[in-house]
Structure 1
Amino acid sequence: MAKLRLDWVNGQEGMDISSEMIAQLKVLLKLAGEAEGVQEGEVSLSFVDDETIQELNKQYRGLDKPTDVLSFAMQESLDDELQIKYDGEYEEEEIEMDSAEEEEAGEYADEDAEDGIDLQPLGDIIISIPTALAQAEEYGHSAEREIGFLFVHGFLHLIGYDHDNEAAEKEMFGKQEAILAKAGLSR
């Protein structure tokens, strides 16, 4: 049985992260895993502000500006692996879903949160909420759709996709849109 787990922290104050949003991201993780043949692993997701993502972008990519999403794969070769160092403190926010919410999430509910399974980390995805909200407004769609898009984008980077040329970009963005459409998050 496939096991993909999402661990998350909220390190920003601009937007409340609802249990519904986390349930949607878990659905997206499952759909993306199915689409790409990734059967197990753990993804760590951090919601941050622009200052934090700018600091990380400068430190790891040499770009002194905020960005929407960063991904740090754990499956890279040991020589290339990045060690993420962040001086701030995150408080992990646990969410409880009532039975109706769990039923709505269906098979995608967080059934593995306390099952004791030790999953191999796939990597870290960091999303800037202020940038995501601004982009959602700019593109004329919901914040949920934009955050979902950025999450799937980050996941595809974790498993080796990139968009460093036109063909690779077309492939990666096509995969993102197909996964989002399956989850009902089309434009």
Structure 2
Amino acid sequence: MTLQLDWNNEQDKHEIQDAWIVKLTELLQLAGEAEGLTTGEVALTFTDDEGIHALNRDYRGIDRPTDVLSFAMQEDGADELDIIFEVEDESESDPLSGMLGDIIISVERAQLQSEEYGHSLEREIGFLFVHGFLHLIGYDHQDETSEAEMTAKQEAVLSQAGLTR
């Protein structure tokens, strides 16, 4: 198995181009390779500001839209609920073991940010996707050092994929 990208579109403001999915799949492979991760599944959802606002409010307690949200399946936080599943055959493995998590991107917010930063929408979506992926595998940016590390990793992957500013 390799790193796999599954995606869906829950917004109608921007067409999701096939070329974006190809590029996002490439970014997933490059980011995974950089982190020594060769297998797993990432679920990506494209939404709008209204959709991501609701998720941000309901899951993070922040009552405003954001650009990207990540929900890691492999987190062991104290506030995380245990996922319980039943198997009929003891030889069956955990059906979620390969699932890294969900990334939700507001295409509406990405469009605004791409204009603000003066680069393509494809580059902004790529940036948000890699940012979300790094969160799925445990990176965070709570202080200057961790933010600098995350930024460097994001830019390295984007550069490899030809998504420069």
Same fold, TM exceeding 0.5? yes
Structure possessing the higher relative contact order (Cα contacts under 8 Å, 6 or more residues apart):
1
Counterpart code for 1:151 = F
Q: Give the CA deviation at 1:78.
A: 6.8
The residue type equivalent to 1:164 in the other structure is Q
Tell me whether 1:176 sits opposite 2:154 in the alignment: yes
**How far apart, in 2, do the equivalents of 1:40 and 1:28 lie?**
14
Alpha-carbon distance in 2 for matches of 1:18, 1:53 = 20
Alignment of 1:147 with 2:125, yes or no, is yes
What's the offset of the Cα at 1:79? 4.5
| Residue 4 of structure 2 is aligned to residue 26 of structure 1 | no
Q: Which amino acid aligns with 2:59?
A: Y
Structure 2 partner of 1:55: 54
Alpha carbon RMSD of aligned pairs, Å?
1.6
Aligned partner of 2:90 in structure 1 is none
SS in 2 for 1:15: coil
Which amino acid letter does the alignment assign opposite residue 49 of structure 1?
D
With over 3 angstroms needed to count, the CA separation of the structure-2 counterparts of 1:119 and 1:16, relative to structure 1, is: farther
User: Could you say which residue in structure 2 is the equivalent of 1:133?
Assistant: 111
Misfit runs of 4+, over 2 Å: 78-83
Q: How far does residue 77 in structure 1 lie from its aligned partner after superposition?
A: 1.5
Residue 43 of structure 2 corresponds to which residue in structure 1?
A: 44
Tell me the SS of whatever aligns to 1:6.
strand
- The 2-side partners of 1:82 and 1:45 are apart by 22
Contact 1:72–1:82 (CA under 8 A) maintained in structure 2: no
Amino-acid identity (%) = 62
Q: Give distance in 1, aligned partners of 2:117 and 2:17.
A: 22
Give unpaired runs (5+ residues) of structure 2.
83-95
CA distance in 1, matches of 2:98, 2:114: 32
Is the CA contact (8 Å cut-off) linking 1:6 and 1:44 kept in structure 2? yes
Distance 1:32 1:43 in 2: 12
Q: Is 2:80 the counterpart of 1:77?
A: no
1:113-151: per-residue Cα shift (whole Å, max 9, x none)?
xxxxx9710000000011000000000000000000000
Q: 2:115 corresponds to which letter in structure 1?
A: E
Q: TM-score, normalised by structure 1?
A: 0.78
TM superposition score normalised by structure 2: 0.88
Equivalenced residues, count = 152
- Over 3 Å counting, the alpha-carbon distance change for 1:61 and 1:82 in structure 2 is farther
